[in-house]
Structure 1
Amino acid sequence: MTPPLPIIAIVGPTATGKSDLGIALAHSVDGEIVNADASQFYRGMDIGTAKLTLPEREGVPHHLLDVLDVHEEANVAAYQQDAREVIAGICERGRVPILVGGSGLYVRAALDDLRIPPTDPAVRARWEARLDAVGAPALHAQLASSDAPAAQQIHPSNGRRIVRALEVIELTGEPFSATMPTREFVSPAVMLGLQIDRPTLHDRIGVRIERMWHDGLLDEVRGLDRIGLREGRTASRAIGYAQALQQLDGILTETQAQAETATLTRKFARRQQSWFGPDPRIHWLPYDAPDLLDRALATVRAAAPASGP
């Protein structure tokens, strides 16, 4: 009997074609897609997140898309539970789970031995106020003084993760680094990363941003604004959506909104590369290889558990 395939994860920076490879692999291995892009959790956030349309999904089942309203906050602990339940269900049906997305912490929450520490809105709000007062670099320095290993793994500009680390330290009395995921899969898995040179990636991001506005991002944001987009801590800050809101408010011109979105998306892509790059388990494949699917399939099959004694 052919040994079962491992869970497949397709990771890497935005705009590299992860979704397209996921669909192709799903057709090849009888797979189902599990979303690991935090922005795609939100109903109605379609154009600005490059969410595949129903026709583009080509009949492949997709899970954990459109599971939150825009005023709700994404939660890693809830995602971990939901993703593992979905993955177990796919496996029980005899199919292959294919995790697709560039939200690194969510990918690791689904696949790795990761303990989710507690949270407290009041404590977090206090640290967020501190972030607003002194800025991310100063707060990062404070984190470094109390938990150097955590500070080394969190970029000084990533205010949200710095706040989370300080919140956990205060609530648990333990270093945040003690709760960071280990590179240890809880179930057999193989990670595929799509590799791209930076100039090409920047060009692809620019094209994507222009297409977002052309395809009606402003209308999408107008509609979401009527149902509580501004109330959502996560959704309202999503790259592209925050800039579209500022354009609607007259704070930015369309040119400025697009330029700021492109700049922030490029910075986000660099952070994604920094997150995934050090992970030795990832098999990196050229995003534009003519035989990309064949290479991906060969990597997946080589990682399949051996059959028999």
Structure 2
Amino acid sequence: MDVRQQPVIAVVGPTAAGKSDLAVDIALRLGGECVNADSMQLYRGMDIGTAKLSPAEMRGVPHHLLNIWDVTVTASVAEYQRLVRKVIDAVEVPVLVGGSGLYVRAALDDLEFPGTDPDIRARLEAELAERGPAPLYERLREQDPAAAAAILPSNGRRIVRALEVIEHSGRPFSATMPSYDAVYPSVQIGLDVPRPELDERIALRVERMWQSGLVDEVRTLLGQGLAEGRTASRALGYAQVIRFLEGEWSEEQAIAETIRATRRFARRQESWFRRDPRVCWLPYDAPDLLERSLARVADHPCA
């Protein structure tokens, strides 16, 4: 277990809620450093579409784990866990910030990431492509009811992963699923945005991204292998721009689909973080948001 004298501060919640700015505010007041927990901000060159802060917006606060992977690299939560814990152990006041729920949990909690077997994965993915998720889900219900209860029957990727782990390890996939067993003491602050406001903020953000040159950013990244990247090419905004550039969609369709997909993603983010009883939710637009956040940190027994 960790022996930190200070808690890790985590700023979480849905996309477009203002997490990055609050994290910088907290870091400035406490002499802290920001640590990225957004899976897509790990990629070099994916700046506009992931809403990375500019150097000016960072306001002199050190930021860790940005721009560390090429777009051709497949994301690995296990690798992120290894890297982020080195940073947390080295930084006196780490401020973890991001909306990738599993990455936040990988940083803070006792999560185990079982190995993979490419042959098993390929066989299961071929079966998924041929038959759809329903028969695979039924198999998972028979082999690991707890895992099946936690996975949507339509989520073929997660079903395949669960069956792969069961076959490869001989253990239930549910044994490796997230728990709330903390490795580090933490104060987790969630930004609460009413749904209509969040939907509007997302639409405005997507439109600003397009105006700021997202299409040109994607063109550049395609020249660096974006289309071959299993993770990066599926990122919100990037996947839609690729379909526009390939002539499948009009630009208006690509913008509308990005807004729609981002709103769906924001709902999943909020559901993930709402399940964690340790997250303290504060109104994103509270005039005293920073002071209320700092008060939560000060109230922590390790602070």
Q: Is the 1:147–1:176 contact (alpha carbons within 8 Å) kept by the matching residues of 2? A: yes
Matches within 5 A, 1:237-252: 237-252=234-249
**Which shifted more, 266-275 or 135-144?**
135-144
Partner of 2:6: 5
Please say if 1:37 is aligned against 2:38: yes
Partner of 2:93: 96
Q: Is the 1:5–1:300 contact (alpha carbons within 8 Å) kept by the matching residues of 2? A: no
SS at match of 1:205: helix
Partner of 1:109: 106
Q: CA deviation at 1:174?
A: 1.2
Distance 1:177 1:84, change over 3 A: same
Matches within 5 A, 1:154-303: 154-303=151-300
Distance 1:226 1:255, change over 3 A: same
Partner of 2:146: 149
Q: CA deviation at 1:136?
A: 4.3
Mapped to 2, the partners of 1:177 and 1:55 lie a distance apart of 44
**Which shifted more, 265-274 or 297-306?**
297-306
**Which shifted more, 76-85 or 150-159?**
150-159
Partner of 1:51: 52
Partner of 2:302: 305
Q: CA deviation at 1:280?
A: 0.6
**Which shifted more, 272-281 or 130-139?**
130-139
Structure 2: which amino acid aligns with 1:88?
Answer: D
Mapped to 1, the partners of 2:263 and 2:59 lie a distance apart of 29
Q: CA deviation at 1:293?
A: 0.4
Q: Is the 1:5–1:301 contact (alpha carbons within 8 Å) kept by the matching residues of 2? A: no
Q: Is the 1:4–1:304 contact (alpha carbons within 8 Å) kept by the matching residues of 2? A: no
**Which shifted more, 225-234 or 130-139?**
130-139
Q: How many correspondences in the alignment?
A: 300
Percent of paired sites with the same residue = 60
SS at match of 2:49: helix
**Which shifted more, 185-194 or 217-226?**
185-194
SS at match of 1:190: strand
Mapped to 2, the partners of 1:126 and 1:154 lie a distance apart of 20
CA root-mean-square deviation: 1.6
Mapped to 1, the partners of 2:198 and 2:155 lie a distance apart of 21
Partner of 1:84: 85
SS at match of 1:305: coil
Distance 1:151 1:117, change over 3 A: same
Cα deviations by residue, 1:115-146 (Å, 9 ceiling, x for unpaired): 11111223222222333334445544442332
SS at match of 1:48: coil
Give the TM-score, by structure 2 length. Answer: 0.95
Matches within 5 A, 1:107-146: 107-136=104-133, 139-146=136-143
**Which shifted more, 273-282 or 153-162?**
153-162
SS at match of 2:247: coil
Q: CA deviation at 1:154?
A: 2.4
Q: Which runs of 5+ in 2 are unaligned?
A: none
Q: Is the 1:192–1:296 contact (alpha carbons within 8 Å) kept by the matching residues of 2? A: yes
SS at match of 1:192: strand
Give the TM-score, by structure 1 length. Answer: 0.93
Distance 1:159 1:60, change over 3 A: farther
Mapped to 1, the partners of 2:138 and 2:195 lie a distance apart of 29
